[in-house]
Amino acid sequence: MVVKNITTQAIGKRGETQAANYLTQSGYQIIARNFKTYFGEIDIIAQDKDQIVLVEVKTRTSFKFGFPEEAINKRKLIKIKQVGQIWARQHPKLPQSLRIDLIAILGKEIKHYENIGEF
Q: With pLDDT > 70 as the criterion, what percentage of the chain qualifies?
A: 96
Mean pLDDT of 74-94: 95
In 3D space, the residue among 4, 19, 117, 7 whose CA is nearest the CA of residue 68 turns out to be 19
pLDDT at 3: 42
The reply to whether 3 falls in a domain is: no
- Mark 99-112 as b/e (b = at least 16 C-beta within 10 Å): bbbbbbbbeeebee
CATH code (residue 70): 3.40.1350.10
- List the beta strands (DSSP E) in 27-95: 29-36, 41-48, 51-60
Cβ-based burial of 6 (10 A; exposed 0-12, middle 13-18, buried ≥19):
exposed
Whether 5 shows a pLDDT value over 60: the answer reads: no
Count the domains in the chain. 1
Host domain of residue 44: 8-113
Residue 19 lies in a domain: yes
Indicate whether 1 belongs to any domain.
no
pLDDT band at 106 (very low <50, low <70, confident <90, very high): very high
Closest CA to 103 of 93, 111, 94, 95: 111
- What pLDDT, on a 0 to 100 scale, did the predictor assign at position 51? 96
Residue 23 within a domain: yes
What pTM does this model have?
0.90
Average pLDDT, the chain: 91
- Does residue 1 have a pLDDT over 50? no
Residue 77, domain member (yes or no): yes
pLDDT tens by residue, 8-65: 888 788 989 999 999 999 999 999 999 999 989 999 999 999 999 999 999 988 878 7
